[in-house]
């Protein structure tokens, strides 16, 4: 009993804050607190709405590509940073800079770069590479959001992957080279499997952040398709459908939890290799 009481200051706060928010949103999504009483109508409405599915598709593709892009980009940088490089501290500081730029500011910066009369278009026009400006902002697919997600999250992936790569003993890497592994084989067969826990953590955390992203999607996202969080925002504040917004909120949470499990299951088989090399019926 005494032990449980000791947990209250830490765990109690978390449970209270998380629990009360979750409780409210669940109650709201089933309309339990409304004058009509508990109903599945809001869930039914939301799940029959094609806009929701377009939003789920849009959010999933931008967050999958964004999180994958960030870790794919972070791996070679982390491998490179393992070496002794002059000015390493300054390089690491510069690489981490995007973490300190708020999402909204970053989105506006990107818009300035890729807008119709932005730096990119003007530069390409000046160089004579294009005849007329390209329309690449607020694209339907969500590439501008993907680019922003990668830009913003690569430093975070880099922190997790770098510490994991640096914790691999140098003699394990020496042994790999000694046994004839090329640089690619060394990465794919030794470094990658040994950094799977860090990769899982990076992928899941970035994915969940990207799935619930509002800042990038509202500034640089598509004008035709909403991301889930933008849809939730408009549903609640423009249409005053708070119960339906609560349903969308719960869908975001469920999708995050489901995706975390899927990402873990997909990446887990890469972590160990224990399958028998010699079959049971081997005669020699």
Partner 1 sequence: MLQIKNIRKCFDDYVASDDISFNVAAGEFVTLLGPSGCGKTTLLKMIGGFHKADSGEIWINGKRIDHLRPEDRNTAMCFQSYALFPHLSVSHNICFGLVQKKVPASLQRDYLAEALSQVGLELHKDKLPSQLSGGQQQRVALARAMVMRPDVILFDEPLSNLDAKLRESVRFEIKSLQKKHNLTTVYVTHDQAEALAMSDKIIVLNSGRIEQEGSPEDIYYRPVNRFVADFIGAANIHKAKVSKMEQVNHYKVECDLGELVVESEEAPVAEYVYICWRPESAYRAQGTEENRFSIKVENLAFLGNVTDLFGRSGLMDEAENNVRIQLHKLLHTQIGASEEFVLPKNTIRFLEEVVS
Residues of the shown chain interacting with partner 1 in the complex, contacts defined by CB under 8 A: 169, 171-172, 174-182, 185, 189-190, 193-194, 271-279, 282, 284
Question: How many angstroms separate the most distant Cα atoms in the chain?
Answer: 78
Minimum distance, C-beta of residue 159 to partner 1, in the bound complex (Å): 22
Question: 118-149 burial, b for 16+ CB within 10 Å, e for fewer?
Answer: bebbeeeeeeeeeeeeeebbbbeebbbbbbbb
Minimum distance, C-beta of residue 277 to partner 1, in the bound complex (Å): 4
d(C-alpha 130, C-alpha 245), whole Å: 43
The residues, any chain, with a CB within 8 Å of residue 156's CB and separated by 6 or more, are 70, 99, 202, 205, 206
* Comparison of 15 and 185: residue with beta carbon closer to partner 1: 185
* Comparison of 5 and 277: residue with beta carbon closer to partner 1: 277
* Comparison of 125 and 201: residue with beta carbon closer to partner 1: 201
Minimum distance, C-beta of residue 187 to partner 1, in the bound complex (Å): 13
The secondary structure of residue 223, as a DSSP letter, is S
Minimum distance, C-beta of residue 284 to partner 1, in the bound complex (Å): 5
3-state SS, 8-63, equals HHHHHHHHHHHHHHHHHHHHHHCCCCCCCCCCCHHHHHHHCCHHHHHHHHHHHHHH
* Comparison of 24 and 167: residue with beta carbon closer to partner 1: 167
Minimum distance, C-beta of residue 80 to partner 1, in the bound complex (Å): 18
Between CA 146 and CA 61, with CA 247 as vertex, the angle to 5 degrees is 20
Cβ atoms of 146 and 62 closer than 8 Å: yes
* Comparison of 37 and 284: residue with beta carbon closer to partner 1: 284
Minimum distance, C-beta of residue 269 to partner 1, in the bound complex (Å): 11
Give the number of other CB atoms < 10 A from CB of residue 262: 12
Question: What radius of gyration do the chain's Cα atoms show?
Answer: 24
* Comparison of 98 and 193: residue with beta carbon closer to partner 1: 193
Minimum distance, C-beta of residue 77 to partner 1, in the bound complex (Å): 23
* Comparison of 93 and 269: residue with beta carbon closer to partner 1: 269
Query: What is the separation of C-alpha 48 from the centre of its chain, rounded to a whole number of angstroms?
Result: 27
Cα 111 to Cα 12, 117, 146, 155: the distances in Å are 43, 10, 13, 21
Kindly report the length of the chain: 284
């Amino acid at each position: 009993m005494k032990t449980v009481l000791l947990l209250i200051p830490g765990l109690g706060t978390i449970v209270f804050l998380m629990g009360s928010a979750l409780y409210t949103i669940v109650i709201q999504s089933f309309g339990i607190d409304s004058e009509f009483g508990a109903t599945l109508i809001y869930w039914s409405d939301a799940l029959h709405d094609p806009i929701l599915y377009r939003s789920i598709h849009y959010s999933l593709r931008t967050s999958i590509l964004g999180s994958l892009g960030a870790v794919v980009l972070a791996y070679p940088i982390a491998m490179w940073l393992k070496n002794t490089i002059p000015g390493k501290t300054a390089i690491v500081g510069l690489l981490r800079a995007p973490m300190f730029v708020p999402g909204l500011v970053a989105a506006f910066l990107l818009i300035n770069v890729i807008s119709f009369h932005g730096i990119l278009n003007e530069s390409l026009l000046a160089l004579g590479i294009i005849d007329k400006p390209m329309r690449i902002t607020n694209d339907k697919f969500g590439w501008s959001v993907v680019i922003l997600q990668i830009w913003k999250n690569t430093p975070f992936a880099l922190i997790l992957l770098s510490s994991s790569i640096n914790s691999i003993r140098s003699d394990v890497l020496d042994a790999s080279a000694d046994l004839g592994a090329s640089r690619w084989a060394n990465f794919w067969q030794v470094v990658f499997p040994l950094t799977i826990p860090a990769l899982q953590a990076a992928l899941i955390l970035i994915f969940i952040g990207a799935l619930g992203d509002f800042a990038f999607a509202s500034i640089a996202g598509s004008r035709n398709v909403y991301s889930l969080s933008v849809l939730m925002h408009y549903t609640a504040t423009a249409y005053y459908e708070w119960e339906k917004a609560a349903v969308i909120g719960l869908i975001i949470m469920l999708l995050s939890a489901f995706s975390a499990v899927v990402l873990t299951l997909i990446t887990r088989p890469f972590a160990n290799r224990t399958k028998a090399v010699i079959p049971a019926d081997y005669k020699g």
